Amino acid sequence: MKTVSENACFGGTQGVYSHTSVTCGCEMTFGLFLPEEARDGPVPVLWYLSGLTCTHENAMTKSGAQVWAAEHGIALVFPDTSPRGEDVADDEAYDLGKGAGFYLNATQDPWKPHFNMWDYIATELPALIGENFSVDMTRQGITGHSMGGHGALTLAMNLPEQYRSVSAFAPITNPSASDWGRKQLTAYLGADETTWQRHDATVMMAEKGFDGPVLIDQGTGDQFLDLLKPEALAAAIATRRQPATFRMQPGYDHSYFFVATFMEDHVAFHADALYAL
Protein backbone atom coordinates (compact mmCIF):
# COMPACT_ATOMS: atom_id res chain seq x y z
CA MET A 1 0.00 0.00 0.00
CA LYS A 2 1.26 3.46 -0.93
CA THR A 3 0.43 6.78 0.69
CA VAL A 4 -0.62 9.23 -2.01
CA SER A 5 -1.38 12.09 0.36
CA GLU A 6 -2.29 12.84 3.98
CA ASN A 7 -3.77 16.12 5.17
CA ALA A 8 -4.88 17.40 8.57
CA CYS A 9 -8.66 17.65 8.50
CA PHE A 10 -11.05 18.63 11.33
CA GLY A 11 -8.60 17.40 13.95
CA GLY A 12 -8.07 14.11 12.14
CA THR A 13 -6.41 13.00 8.91
CA GLN A 14 -7.74 12.76 5.38
CA GLY A 15 -5.58 10.28 3.53
CA VAL A 16 -5.48 8.93 -0.01
CA TYR A 17 -3.87 5.54 -0.58
CA SER A 18 -3.25 3.17 -3.47
CA HIS A 19 -2.61 -0.55 -3.59
CA THR A 20 -2.48 -3.48 -5.97
CA SER A 21 -5.87 -5.16 -5.84
CA VAL A 22 -5.89 -8.93 -6.25
CA THR A 23 -9.67 -8.86 -6.65
CA CYS A 24 -9.71 -6.28 -9.44
CA GLY A 25 -6.34 -7.13 -10.94
CA CYS A 26 -5.16 -3.53 -11.07
CA GLU A 27 -3.98 -0.60 -8.98
CA MET A 28 -6.83 0.84 -6.90
CA THR A 29 -7.06 4.12 -4.99
CA PHE A 30 -9.20 4.99 -1.97
CA GLY A 31 -9.70 7.83 0.46
CA LEU A 32 -9.81 7.33 4.23
CA PHE A 33 -10.70 9.92 6.86
CA LEU A 34 -9.61 9.08 10.40
CA PRO A 35 -10.96 11.24 13.23
CA GLU A 36 -8.83 12.38 16.15
CA GLU A 37 -10.20 9.50 18.28
CA ALA A 38 -8.40 6.97 16.05
CA ARG A 39 -5.13 7.97 17.71
CA ASP A 40 -6.37 6.40 20.95
CA GLY A 41 -7.97 3.26 19.58
CA PRO A 42 -10.10 1.72 16.82
CA VAL A 43 -13.12 3.75 15.65
CA PRO A 44 -16.27 2.67 13.75
CA VAL A 45 -16.31 2.83 9.96
CA LEU A 46 -18.77 4.39 7.53
CA TRP A 47 -18.43 3.46 3.85
CA TYR A 48 -19.45 6.00 1.21
CA LEU A 49 -20.01 4.55 -2.27
CA SER A 50 -20.05 7.11 -5.08
CA GLY A 51 -22.10 7.22 -8.27
CA LEU A 52 -21.58 7.04 -12.02
CA THR A 53 -18.45 8.76 -13.42
CA CYS A 54 -17.04 9.37 -9.93
CA THR A 55 -13.73 8.34 -8.39
CA HIS A 56 -12.73 8.19 -4.70
CA GLU A 57 -12.30 11.96 -4.85
CA ASN A 58 -15.82 13.30 -5.50
CA ALA A 59 -17.44 12.70 -2.12
CA MET A 60 -14.15 13.23 -0.33
CA THR A 61 -13.99 16.83 -1.58
CA LYS A 62 -17.67 17.74 -2.13
CA SER A 63 -19.85 16.05 0.48
CA GLY A 64 -18.63 17.79 3.63
CA ALA A 65 -18.79 14.45 5.42
CA GLN A 66 -15.54 14.84 7.36
CA VAL A 67 -16.79 17.59 9.67
CA TRP A 68 -19.65 15.40 10.85
CA ALA A 69 -17.54 12.24 11.04
CA ALA A 70 -15.07 14.15 13.21
CA GLU A 71 -17.90 15.27 15.47
CA HIS A 72 -19.04 11.67 15.99
CA GLY A 73 -15.63 9.95 15.98
CA ILE A 74 -16.22 7.86 12.86
CA ALA A 75 -13.84 6.84 10.06
CA LEU A 76 -14.97 7.40 6.46
CA VAL A 77 -13.93 5.23 3.53
CA PHE A 78 -14.22 6.62 -0.01
CA PRO A 79 -13.53 3.78 -2.48
CA ASP A 80 -13.29 4.18 -6.24
CA THR A 81 -16.30 3.21 -8.36
CA SER A 82 -14.54 0.78 -10.70
CA PRO A 83 -11.20 -0.74 -11.62
CA ARG A 84 -8.75 1.45 -13.52
CA GLY A 85 -5.82 0.98 -15.88
CA GLU A 86 -4.88 0.69 -19.52
CA ASP A 87 -5.72 -3.02 -19.69
CA VAL A 88 -9.13 -2.60 -17.98
CA ALA A 89 -12.11 -2.89 -20.32
CA ASP A 90 -14.09 0.28 -20.97
CA ASP A 91 -16.99 1.62 -23.02
CA GLU A 92 -17.58 4.92 -24.80
CA ALA A 93 -20.74 5.51 -22.74
CA TYR A 94 -20.39 7.12 -19.32
CA ASP A 95 -22.65 4.53 -17.68
CA LEU A 96 -20.68 1.37 -18.49
CA GLY A 97 -17.08 0.45 -17.81
CA LYS A 98 -14.65 2.69 -15.95
CA GLY A 99 -16.50 4.83 -13.42
CA ALA A 100 -19.52 2.53 -13.64
CA GLY A 101 -18.67 -0.67 -11.78
CA PHE A 102 -22.18 -1.02 -10.29
CA TYR A 103 -20.71 -2.76 -7.21
CA LEU A 104 -21.03 -6.31 -8.55
CA ASN A 105 -18.77 -9.15 -9.74
CA ALA A 106 -18.92 -9.36 -13.53
CA THR A 107 -19.28 -12.81 -15.07
CA GLN A 108 -19.18 -11.77 -18.74
CA ASP A 109 -16.33 -10.81 -21.05
CA PRO A 110 -14.65 -8.39 -21.42
CA TRP A 111 -15.56 -7.27 -17.90
CA LYS A 112 -14.97 -10.29 -15.68
CA PRO A 113 -11.15 -10.09 -15.34
CA HIS A 114 -11.33 -6.76 -13.48
CA PHE A 115 -14.89 -5.74 -12.61
CA ASN A 116 -15.20 -7.41 -9.21
CA MET A 117 -16.27 -4.43 -7.15
CA TRP A 118 -18.58 -6.48 -4.90
CA ASP A 119 -15.70 -8.57 -3.54
CA TYR A 120 -13.45 -5.53 -3.45
CA ILE A 121 -15.84 -3.50 -1.28
CA ALA A 122 -17.14 -6.38 0.84
CA THR A 123 -13.90 -8.29 1.45
CA GLU A 124 -10.58 -7.07 0.09
CA LEU A 125 -10.63 -3.38 1.00
CA PRO A 126 -12.07 -3.91 4.52
CA ALA A 127 -9.31 -6.44 5.23
CA LEU A 128 -6.62 -4.05 3.97
CA ILE A 129 -7.95 -1.12 5.99
CA GLY A 130 -8.47 -3.24 9.10
CA GLU A 131 -4.86 -4.43 8.97
CA ASN A 132 -3.31 -1.01 8.45
CA PHE A 133 -5.42 1.56 10.30
CA SER A 134 -7.03 2.09 13.69
CA VAL A 135 -10.57 1.07 12.76
CA ASP A 136 -13.09 -1.37 14.22
CA MET A 137 -14.41 -3.59 11.43
CA THR A 138 -17.01 -5.09 13.77
CA ARG A 139 -18.82 -1.75 13.56
CA GLN A 140 -19.51 -0.85 9.93
CA GLY A 141 -22.22 1.24 8.28
CA ILE A 142 -22.65 1.90 4.59
CA THR A 143 -24.10 4.73 2.51
CA GLY A 144 -23.87 5.99 -1.04
CA HIS A 145 -25.25 8.23 -3.76
CA SER A 146 -27.06 7.15 -6.96
CA MET A 147 -25.18 4.08 -8.27
CA GLY A 148 -23.45 4.10 -4.89
CA GLY A 149 -26.82 4.12 -3.12
CA HIS A 150 -27.70 1.04 -5.16
CA GLY A 151 -24.46 -0.57 -4.01
CA ALA A 152 -24.96 0.38 -0.37
CA LEU A 153 -28.49 -1.03 -0.23
CA THR A 154 -27.72 -4.28 -2.04
CA LEU A 155 -24.53 -4.95 -0.09
CA ALA A 156 -26.29 -4.30 3.22
CA MET A 157 -29.26 -6.53 2.46
CA ASN A 158 -27.06 -9.35 1.16
CA LEU A 159 -24.51 -9.03 3.99
CA PRO A 160 -26.55 -8.03 7.06
CA GLU A 161 -23.96 -9.50 9.43
CA GLN A 162 -21.38 -7.01 8.09
CA TYR A 163 -23.28 -3.71 8.30
CA ARG A 164 -25.15 -2.31 11.28
CA SER A 165 -26.87 0.46 9.31
CA VAL A 166 -27.54 1.52 5.74
CA SER A 167 -28.53 4.80 4.11
CA ALA A 168 -28.66 6.18 0.59
CA PHE A 169 -28.91 9.45 -1.31
CA ALA A 170 -31.06 9.20 -4.47
CA PRO A 171 -30.26 5.52 -5.03
CA ILE A 172 -30.88 3.54 -8.21
CA THR A 173 -33.54 1.42 -6.55
CA ASN A 174 -34.87 -0.92 -9.23
CA PRO A 175 -32.14 -1.45 -11.86
CA SER A 176 -33.71 -4.58 -13.36
CA ALA A 177 -36.63 -2.37 -14.46
CA SER A 178 -34.65 0.76 -15.43
CA ASP A 179 -32.42 1.94 -18.25
CA TRP A 180 -29.92 2.65 -15.47
CA GLY A 181 -29.57 -1.03 -14.76
CA ARG A 182 -30.80 -3.33 -17.49
CA LYS A 183 -28.01 -2.28 -19.84
CA GLN A 184 -25.31 -2.71 -17.19
CA LEU A 185 -26.67 -5.88 -15.61
CA THR A 186 -26.90 -7.52 -19.04
CA ALA A 187 -23.36 -6.47 -19.92
CA TYR A 188 -21.79 -7.50 -16.62
CA LEU A 189 -23.92 -10.51 -15.63
CA GLY A 190 -25.51 -11.76 -18.86
CA ALA A 191 -29.09 -12.20 -20.00
CA ASP A 192 -30.22 -14.53 -17.18
CA GLU A 193 -32.22 -12.09 -15.05
CA THR A 194 -32.24 -14.43 -12.05
CA THR A 195 -28.57 -13.45 -11.55
CA TRP A 196 -29.59 -9.80 -11.32
CA GLN A 197 -31.90 -10.10 -8.33
CA ARG A 198 -29.33 -9.74 -5.54
CA HIS A 199 -28.26 -6.48 -7.20
CA ASP A 200 -31.73 -4.94 -7.21
CA ALA A 201 -32.63 -3.11 -3.98
CA THR A 202 -36.37 -3.32 -4.60
CA VAL A 203 -36.23 -7.09 -5.16
CA MET A 204 -33.98 -7.58 -2.13
CA MET A 205 -36.23 -5.42 0.04
CA ALA A 206 -39.24 -7.52 -0.92
CA GLU A 207 -37.38 -10.79 -0.32
CA LYS A 208 -35.11 -10.07 2.67
CA GLY A 209 -35.25 -6.51 3.95
CA PHE A 210 -32.62 -5.34 6.41
CA ASP A 211 -32.45 -6.09 10.12
CA GLY A 212 -31.23 -2.65 11.11
CA PRO A 213 -31.91 1.05 10.62
CA VAL A 214 -32.53 2.31 7.06
CA LEU A 215 -32.52 5.94 5.88
CA ILE A 216 -33.14 7.12 2.30
CA ASP A 217 -33.26 10.67 0.98
CA GLN A 218 -34.51 11.51 -2.50
CA GLY A 219 -34.95 14.96 -4.03
CA THR A 220 -38.27 15.76 -5.71
CA GLY A 221 -36.42 17.91 -8.27
CA ASP A 222 -34.05 15.12 -9.26
CA GLN A 223 -33.61 15.13 -13.03
CA PHE A 224 -33.17 11.33 -13.02
CA LEU A 225 -36.26 10.34 -11.04
CA ASP A 226 -37.64 8.12 -13.82
CA LEU A 227 -34.38 6.16 -13.89
CA LEU A 228 -34.02 5.94 -10.09
CA LYS A 229 -37.58 4.69 -9.48
CA PRO A 230 -37.86 5.63 -5.78
CA GLU A 231 -41.55 4.66 -5.79
CA ALA A 232 -40.61 1.01 -6.43
CA LEU A 233 -38.43 0.79 -3.33
CA ALA A 234 -40.91 2.77 -1.24
CA ALA A 235 -43.63 0.29 -2.21
CA ALA A 236 -41.43 -2.68 -1.30
CA ILE A 237 -40.65 -1.09 2.08
CA ALA A 238 -44.35 -0.54 2.75
CA THR A 239 -45.37 -4.02 1.62
CA ARG A 240 -42.70 -5.67 3.76
CA ARG A 241 -43.46 -3.28 6.65
CA GLN A 242 -39.74 -2.69 6.91
CA PRO A 243 -38.74 -0.14 9.56
CA ALA A 244 -37.22 2.65 7.47
CA THR A 245 -37.18 6.39 6.98
CA PHE A 246 -37.79 7.38 3.35
CA ARG A 247 -37.79 11.15 2.79
CA MET A 248 -38.74 13.00 -0.38
CA GLN A 249 -36.91 16.33 -0.10
CA PRO A 250 -38.76 19.18 -1.88
CA GLY A 251 -36.87 20.82 -4.73
CA TYR A 252 -33.54 19.00 -4.40
CA ASP A 253 -31.83 17.59 -7.49
CA HIS A 254 -29.22 14.87 -8.03
CA SER A 255 -26.15 16.98 -7.30
CA TYR A 256 -23.65 17.06 -4.46
CA PHE A 257 -25.44 20.16 -3.16
CA PHE A 258 -28.25 17.72 -2.27
CA VAL A 259 -25.84 15.21 -0.73
CA ALA A 260 -24.01 17.86 1.31
CA THR A 261 -27.29 19.31 2.60
CA PHE A 262 -28.34 16.06 4.26
CA MET A 263 -24.94 14.57 5.05
CA GLU A 264 -25.11 15.69 8.69
CA ASP A 265 -28.33 13.69 9.13
CA HIS A 266 -26.84 10.58 7.56
CA VAL A 267 -23.61 10.58 9.57
CA ALA A 268 -25.56 11.11 12.81
CA PHE A 269 -27.94 8.31 11.79
CA HIS A 270 -25.03 5.89 11.36
CA ALA A 271 -23.30 7.09 14.53
CA ASP A 272 -26.37 6.13 16.55
CA ALA A 273 -26.17 2.58 15.18
CA LEU A 274 -22.39 2.22 15.28
CA TYR A 275 -22.09 3.36 18.90
CA ALA A 276 -25.15 1.47 20.15
CA LEU A 277 -24.39 -1.18 22.76
Residues 226-243: pLDDT tens digits?
999 999 999 999 999 999
* CA dist 133 → 66, 75, 176, 212, 255 (Å): 17, 10, 37, 26, 31
Q: What is the pLDDT of residue 253?
A: 98
Q: What is the pLDDT of residue 204?
A: 98
Asked if residues 233 and 205 have their Cβ atoms less than 8 Å apart, the reply is: yes
Mean pLDDT for 85-99 is: 97
* Catalytic residue check, 222: yes
Angstrom distance (rounded) from CA 123 to CA 23: 9
Asked if residues 166 and 210 have their Cβ atoms less than 8 Å apart, the reply is: yes
**pLDDT score of 89 more than 80:** yes
Architecture category of domain 2-275 in CATH = 3-Layer(aba) Sandwich (3.40)
Q: What is the pLDDT of residue 41?
A: 97
Share of the chain above pLDDT 70, in %: 100
80, 200, 217, 222: the catalytic one is: 222
User: 7 burial class (0-12, 13-18, 19+ CB within 10 angstroms)?
Assistant: exposed
Mean pLDDT for 136-154 is: 98
Angstrom distance (rounded) from CA 178 to CA 187: 14
Average pLDDT, the chain: 98
User: 160 burial class (0-12, 13-18, 19+ CB within 10 angstroms)?
Assistant: middle
What DSSP element (H or E) covers 206?
Answer: helix 201-207
* Position 277 confidence tier, pLDDT thresholds 50, 70, 90: confident
Cis peptide upstream of residue 126 (ω within 30 degrees of 0): no
List pLDDT tens digits, range 4-53: 999 999 999 999 999 999 999 999 999 999 999 999 999 999 999 999 99
21, 50, 82, 146: the catalytic one is: 146
Asked if residues 8 and 117 have their Cβ atoms less than 8 Å apart, the reply is: no
* Position 145 confidence tier, pLDDT thresholds 50, 70, 90: very high
Close Cβ partners of 192 (under 8 Å, ≥ 6 residues apart)? none
